[in-house]
Amino acid sequence: MKAIPRLRRREHPRPTLPIPGEEARGEPRVEVVETHALRWLNIDGPRLVDRTYLSETFGFHELDLEDVASHNQRPKVDEYEEYLFLIMQFPRFDRESGRLHAAELDIFLGPDYVITLPNEEILPLPALFERAQTREDVREQLMTKGSGYLLYQILDRCVDASFPILGQLGRRLRRNRRISSASTSRSRPSGTPSAPDPRAAFRRNHAAHSQPRRRKNATMPMRMANIVTTMPQK
């Protein structure tokens, strides 16, 4: 199988701007799994020194690196000639606070690399990366069909791991609604309309934000297909 050429660096990459109070300390914390045709790089909680490494090594757009530094981004896909930049969010349960919040996973996807940048632990990403590091059969399964296939496997496992969390949340909401309905029915005068279902409002809001937008995101399926089909197959 012929190896794909490495992505060429920009001769003069733009400097990476720090966020307020941030200093470039230490060395980049880059973990790498590599085959002859594909690299998977992972950086947990990327700092300024890590973003500078990405800018100097791959020449990523400075706005993408600013999005990596910010943890309040909406899911999106930005398309460039040489790579795709994705922001994904997955549910994560914080045991200390007892609350559910969104954990962000930023991804750079190129012809011969996938770079994952979780801002906090997202199951099962660490275990999957460790297996790819230590087991040749896992590398053979994940990293011999192109960068698009590796991205699919990463996202598929992260989504599957979200279902138990969302299922538990749904059961808790239904239980609380039954308790609230029982309490309200005892105290509400006859003929008073019941309170609106918050889940219906959520579905309406979700549908409004899920309408297709004719922007960069609309070219994602075709762009992804091009990346996958141009990779060498066994």
pLDDT confidence of residue 163: 83
Mean pLDDT of all residues belonging to the chain = 78
Angle at 159 between CA 87 and CA 174, to 5 degrees: 110
pTM: 0.68
Alpha helix locations (H) across the chain? Answer: 48-58, 62-69, 125-134, 136-142, 147-187, 198-209, 220-230
Is a pLDDT exceeding 60 seen at residue 222?
no
Q: Is it the case that residue 78 has pLDDT exceeding 80?
A: yes
pLDDT per residue over 175-206, tens digit each? 888 887 777 766 656 555 555 555 555 555 54
What is the pLDDT, as a whole number, of residue 116?
A: 98
- What pLDDT score was predicted for residue 10? 47
**Taking residues 213-231, what's their average pLDDT?**
47
All domains in the chain, ordered by first residue: 31-163+226-230 (3.30.460.20)
What local confidence, expressed as pLDDT, does residue 14 receive? Answer: 59
In the chain, what percentage of residues exceed pLDDT 70?
A: 68
| CA nearest to 64, candidates 216, 206, 210 | 216
What does the alpha-carbon distance between residue 87 and residue 104 come to, in Å, rounded to a whole number?
7
